[in-house]
Chain A
Amino acid sequence: MIRLKKFSYWYPASEQPALDRISFEIPEGQFLGIVGANGAGKSTLCYALSGFVPHFYNGELEGELSFDGTPIVELDLGKLAGQVGLVFQNSFNQISGARFTVREEIAFGLENLGLPRAEMKSRIEEALELVNIQELAERSPFSVSGGQQQRIAIASILAMQPRVLVLDEPTSQLDPEGTRDVFAALSKLVSTRKITVIIAEHKLEWLATFCDRVVALAGGKLRAEGSPQEVLSSEQMLRLGVGRTQYSEAAARLVRSKQLPVTLEQARKALR
């Protein structure tokens, strides 16, 4: 579905590539996690996968990045918005500011896509339920907490029912319960609707639990790729500044094992 082949990108006036010869493929319906220390290129990769690089940011490209076989440079952002959704880290900046209730805020994207009113209503209710914010529907999106705002932002994109959902550290402002709700909602989307979810995240435990596959970046380069178990349990993650899940940390201190557990379930088995 999405294919990167030796894909490199330089921000304007930058001599160092933000992404450096990255190659991998993302099949439809996959839940992919992106890990890396700050400045590793996670956000840039998210922007590239959603078309903002190169359509929003100028700069130089090399190599190939294609969506359903079409080079992303040939697709315009307006049309891509219905296919690829992007959720940012900063919740405040994602609120359109042009709508006065959460329900209207979620409708904003649907109105832009020209959906009929009846379909909008059903999608809004579904999105509110998916991220568990039904009780906020009639409140102002500016009168809620940062975590609630982030859930509104996610619901707003989910309602657009994109085929690919890209999220750049979406849970950084969420409490543990909010984080669990978001991951559970994303997992449900992948399993029931076959939506492709790509999430850049520091909360490794959640990635280990929910993702099908993880890629690790450092200095704009792809350093590791594989199942969460393969990638997140490797020593290399410590060197890259990614760290390890708390389950891996605990198991590393308590048992000798070739491959460290990365989820609670795996840790339970390893420590038995």
Chain B
Amino acid sequence: MRGSTIYIEGSSGLHTLHPLTKLAFSGLCFACAAALPTLPWLLAMFGLVILPLAIWGRLTKAFLKACLLVVGPFLLSLSIIQGFFHGGETVLFALGRFSYTLEGLMAGLLFAARLLVALGGTLLLMQSTDQAHLMQALTERGFPTRIAYVVLTAIQIFPSFQDRAQVIIDAQQARGLELQTGALNRARLLLPMVGPLILGSVMNVSERAMALEARGFSSPAHKTSLRSLADTGAQRAVRWLLVAAAIALLLWRLWSALA
């Protein structure tokens, strides 16, 4: 169990890459999403680079499913909104006073494609990287350990929080609280559950903080790690190239916009 993460365990080449290499690639995807000017460029980036990487990582099904779940609703809503309200000369059909234009449809598709490219890079990173490894890689390069702790704790504790909520619901129901009634009544009855859940968590904060201190969280020693993350000179070079490419793309886009 890895908490509430979307990480999919595996041993593919993508999985064994250093987390920062994948993070740099994710950054490049964001730069591409922002800078690539046309739909074919964005689709090429997704179809020829991102998707093959997902296949290499043996993540194809989960990757495409997540893409569809997130981008699908945007694609639909943007196509409708932009189609009707973006404006344009090529009318595809009309509903009363409103005309649906090809230019609007293309604008909606372009926006959805940008989202797809940005999301694709992030999904590749998150589905193929254990978040603990990512945080370790970041803290080894100076990322604050306290922030890394908060991120990892949030991932890990969320399912336990859900379990605790279920225990409270069961306890309240055992004492006669009726939760099987209508939606409005159930919403009203949420209060007896949320109160103990939040209060209980706040009361635990003090002991949790003490337990952390007992484990040397404030120790002045330079922190080490049980795991070693494999890294190579080639990967370091690739990372710099990816970062340079992302910066170059953004600068080119800025220059094009100003010119």
Q: Are A88 and B207 in contact (CB under 8 A)?
A: yes
Interface residues of B in 104-142 (CB under 8 A from A): 130, 132
Closest residue of A by beta carbon distance from B212 = A96
A160–B215 CB distance below 8 A: yes
- Is A143 touching B1 in the complex (CB atoms < 8 A)? yes
Verify A114–B219 contact, CB threshold 8 A.
Answer: yes
Known contacts A97-B153, A142-B160, A157-B215; 9 additional CB pairs below 8 A are A77-B218, A79-B220, A88-B211, A93-B211, A103-B226, A109-B216, A112-B215, A114-B219, A116-B224
**Which residue on chain B has the smallest CB distance to residue A159?**
B215
List 6 tightest A-B contacts by C-beta distance, closest first: A114-B221, A112-B216, A109-B215, A81-B216, A78-B218, A107-B226
CA distance A81 to B213 in the complex (A): 7
A-B contact pairs, 8 of them (CB 8 A): A81-B218, A93-B204, A96-B215, A98-B148, A111-B224, A114-B222, A115-B224, A157-B215
Contacts of B226 in A (CB 8 A): 103-104, 107, 110-111, 117, 120-121, 124
Name the residue in A99, A112, A117, A121 with the highest tally of chain B Cβ atoms < 10 Å from its Cβ: A112
User: Across the interface, which residues of A come within 8 angstroms of B157, CB to CB?
Assistant: 97, 142
Contacts across chains A and B counted by CB atoms under 8 Å:
124
Q: Is A24 an interface residue (CB 8 A)?
A: no
A10 within 8 A of B: no
Residue contact B204 to A100, C-beta cutoff 8 Å: no
Shortest CB-to-CB span from B158 to chain A, Å, is 10
Determine the residue in chain A with the shortest Cβ distance to B153: A97
Chain A residues whose C-beta falls within 8 Å of the C-beta of B216 in the assembled complex: 78, 81-82, 109, 112-113, 160
Among B3, B149, B204, B224: residue with most chain A CB under 10 A = B224
Are A142 and B156 neighbours in the complex by a CB distance under 8 Å?
yes
Q: Interface size class for chain A?
A: 35 or more
A108 within 8 A of B: yes
Closest B residue to A124 by CB, please name it.
Answer: B226
In the assembled complex, which residues on chain B have CB atoms less than 8 Å from the CB atom of A94?
A: 211, 214
Closest partner residue, chain A, to B154 (CB atom): A97
Asked if B225 CB lies within 8 Å of chain A CBs, one says yes
Cβ of B1 and Cβ of A117 under 8 Å apart? no
Q: Which of B191-239 contact A (CB under 8 A)?
A: 204, 207-228
Q: A86 on the interface (CB 8 Å rule)?
A: yes
Q: Cβ of A121: which chain B residues have Cβ within 8 Å of it? A: 226
Most buried by A among B153, B204, B215, B227: B215
Q: Which among A56, A98, A117 has the greatest number of chain B C-beta atoms within 10 A?
A: A98
Minimum CB distance partner of A162 in chain B: B214
Q: How far is the CA of A99 from the CA of B2 in the complex (A)?
A: 9
> B80 in the interface, Cβ–Cβ < 8 Å?
no
A127-156: which residues lie under 8 A (CB-CB) from chain B?
140, 142-143, 153, 156
